[in-house]
Amino acid sequence: MAKASNADTSLEKVSENLVNFSVDRDDLNRIMAMLPEDESVNRVTVEYEIPLLKIVSVGWAVAYFLENKPEKKVLLESFWQAIDEFSRSLSDVTNLTTGAEINYFHMIKERVDNYVQALNMQPDAKDPAAVIGPTFANICNAADNVHVIMTGNRVFNAAIIGVKEYLAHVNFT
């Protein structure tokens, strides 16, 4: 995740950096490249779901790492509002180029619900990635594919680590 200068620790700038990190695809492309070619896996579906998981993971990480911090509420509101705006732009472009009506933010909210429900069903799980990876694979219609499970784990863990390091860098943890 890009580092902010020490002067850039306003809630607005921190939120902007978190949003930019959540929609950046560089790390996702590297993770996708690790997925072996397998005709039983729909790579288009996996590639479509990866950015959704990253956005959800960044939002979850902010809530988790700032659990008892006064900045949490404002930062999360700002983050999700910016993701909503980004989603509207993406939905509009998709509509213009394909003619298909897509509500990208609604899809993100559905994924949040999917992952939260999965975590709630396994409250004793020591590592959330152990729940997120299989849930990601299930969403990708590849529930039994260990490579897709690991892809979900990698996306989740990379997002969590990136947010944790960034929040520590800007002294928010």
> Cα(138)–Cα(53) distance, rounded to whole angstroms?
13
Cβ(111)–Cβ(139) below 8 Å: yes
Is the pLDDT at 142 greater than 60? The verdict is yes
Q: Is residue 123 part of a domain?
A: yes
- Mean pLDDT, the chain, rounded, equals 91
Q: Is residue 2 part of a domain?
A: no
Q: pLDDT tens-digit profile of 145-159?
A: 999 999 999 999 999
Per the structure, the complete domain to which residue 63 belongs is given by: 11-169
Q: Is residue 144 part of a domain?
A: yes
Q: Is residue 103 part of a domain?
A: yes
DSSP string, 93-118: HHHHHH-----HHHHHHHHHHHHHHH
How many domains is the chain partitioned into structurally? 1
Q: Is residue 114 part of a domain?
A: yes
